[in-house]
């Protein structure tokens, strides 16, 4: 079983344009949490982050409040901010619920998607295959995220989308790390091919089953890599 020794880092510069608002700072921090640059349970040093991101403490602190509301960061009056950590049980429960949400979204999407939406998802899929072929996990993951996002929107159920987005934010880093093992990553790509075929055929039952299985496999891949300490980032 082959493991990925090194992950290519995003080519974007780390420093943020000083004109950007706290929302962009929050987005950059989400990416750092997702890709493991900010590890589970780590305390966040405001001075260091301000230097890395090229911003003052005001937008950084506002961004941390946003991430705290998303349950990615924990704020403590005496200890400052730290990346939230989940237990093994938390992870299993979150993926179980996420699988149900993705399955329902997929079933509805197969019935309600337009040809234009299908074409967009198909284009993202082929871009994702190219990223997989060159072992570019950050690029692959971003395209993968956009595919799942697009499928959820095809469901045309605002309440479902709101719940989906809230929960999915909490497990982004887990979904990212589920591809660290090359065999698991290859399997995920094959699953995505079958998902696209079900979406094209408007086979809602098949797409629901595929997405539920996809999330179960993601959960298994994460827990197989579980560290000796009982924590993982959300």
Structural domains in the chain (count)? 2
pLDDT tens-digit map of 55-111: 999 999 999 999 999 999 999 888 889 999 999 999 999 999 999 999 999 999 999
- Consecutive H or E run containing 43: strand 43-44
Distance from C-alpha of 19 to C-alpha of 48, rounded to nearest angstrom = 20
Indicate if the pLDDT at residue 29 is higher than 90: yes
Domain with 32 in it: what CATH number? 1.10.10.10
pLDDT tens-digit map of 124-172: 999 999 999 999 999 999 999 999 999 999 999 999 999 999 999 999 9
Same domain, residue pair 71 and 183: no
Domain end point (choices 38, 66, 83)? 83
Q: Identify the pLDDT of residue 91.
A: 94
Phi/psi-derived region of residue 9, left when phi > 0, alpha when psi is between -120 and 50, beta in every other case: beta
Same domain, residue pair 106 and 69: no
Contact 220, 156 (CB under 8 A): no
High-pLDDT (> 70) share of the chain, %: 88
- Among 5-14, 92-101, 114-123, the minimum mean pLDDT is found in 5-14
Nearest to 34 by CA among 165, 197, 203, 175: 175
Q: Which domain holds residue 203?
A: 88-229
Residue 148 lies in a domain: yes
Q: Identify the pLDDT of residue 77.
A: 86
Contact 95, 219 (CB under 8 A): yes
Indicate if the pLDDT at residue 112 is higher than 90: yes
Q: Identify the pLDDT of residue 79.
A: 82
| pTM of the model as a whole | 0.82
Same domain, residue pair 207 and 94: yes
Residue 217 lies in a domain: yes
Domain end point (choices 32, 64, 83)? 83
Distance from C-alpha of 200 to C-alpha of 137, rounded to nearest angstrom = 26
């Amino acid at each position: 079983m082959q493991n990925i020794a090194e992950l290519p880092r995003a080519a974007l510069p780390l420093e943020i344009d000083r004109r950007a608002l706290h929302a962009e700072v929050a987005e950059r921090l989400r990416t750092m949490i997702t890709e493991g640059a900010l590890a589970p349970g780590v305390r966040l040093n405001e001075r260091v982050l301000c230097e890395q991101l090229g911003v003052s403490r005001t937008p950084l602190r506002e961004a941390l409040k946003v991430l705290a509301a998303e349950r990615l960061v924990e704020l403590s009056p005496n200890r400052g901010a730290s990346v939230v950590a989940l237990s093994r049980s938390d992870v299993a429960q979150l993926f179980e619920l996420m699988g149900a949400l993705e399955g329902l979204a997929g079933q509805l999407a197969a019935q309600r998607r337009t040809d234009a939406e299908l074409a967009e998802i198909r284009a993202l899929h082929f871009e994702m295959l190219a990223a997989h072929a060159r072992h570019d996990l950050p690029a692959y993951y971003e395209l993968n995220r956009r595919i799942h996002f697009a499928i959820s929107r095809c469901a045309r159920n605002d309440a479902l989308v709101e719940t989906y987005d809230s929960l999915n934010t909490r497990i982004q880093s887990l979904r990212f790390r589920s591809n660290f093992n090359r065999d698991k990553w290859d399997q995920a790509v094959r699953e995505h091919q079958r998902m696209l075929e079900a979406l094209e055929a408007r086979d809602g039952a098949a797409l629901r089953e595929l997405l539920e299985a996809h999330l179960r496999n993601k959960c298994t891949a994460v827990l197989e890599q579980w560290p000796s300490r009982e924590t993982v980032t959300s």
